[in-house]
Amino acid sequence: MSSKSALVLRATGSQGQGVVKHLAKSGWKVHALVSDPSADRALALQEFGNVSLYKGTLGDHASIEAAIAGTDAVFLTQMPSFTDDSEVRDARAILDLAKAAGVKHIIHSTQLMLNNPNLRNDKSFPPMMAPVIIGKLDVEELIRASGLAYTLLRPGWFMTNVTAPIADMMYPGLSDGKFISSYTPDTILPAVDTDDIGVFVAAAFNDFDKFAGKAVTVVSEMITVADLLAEIEKASGKKLDIHYRTAEETEKEANNPFVIGQKLTIGLEKWADMDEVKSYGIPLSSFKDFLQKNKGVVVPK
Q: What is the pLDDT of residues 50-88, one digit of tens each?
A: 999 999 999 999 999 999 999 999 999 999 888 888 999
Let me know if residue 92 belongs to a domain.
yes
Q: Is residue 20 part of a domain?
A: yes
Domain membership of residue 300 (yes or no) is no
The Cα–Cα gap between 58 and 9 comes to 7
Residue 236, in any domain of the structure: yes
Burial of residue 31 (CB within 10 Å: 0-12, 13-18, 19+) is: buried
> What is residue 199's predicted lDDT score, i.e. its pLDDT?
98
The per-residue pLDDT for range 213-268, each reduced to its tens digit, is 999 999 999 999 999 999 999 999 999 999 999 999 999 998 899 999 999 999 99
Is 69 exposed, middle or buried, given 0-12, 13-18 or 19+ CB atoms closer than 10 A? middle
Q: What is the CATH number of the domain that holds 286?
A: 3.40.50.720
Give the N- to C-terminal CA distance of the chain in Å, as an integer: 41
Q: What is the pLDDT of residue 125?
A: 79
Residue 190 lies in a domain: yes
Q: Is residue 299 part of a domain?
A: no
- pTM score of the predicted model: 0.95
Q: Is 35 part of any domain?
A: yes
183-222 confidence digits (pLDDT tens): 999 999 999 999 999 999 999 999 999 999 999 999 999 9
Question: What is the model's pLDDT at position 1?
Answer: 39
> Would you say residue 301 lies in a domain?
no
Number of domains in the chain: 1
Residue 121 near residue 182, CB atoms below 8 Å: no
Contact 2, 185 (CB under 8 A): no
Domain that holds residue 21: 5-293
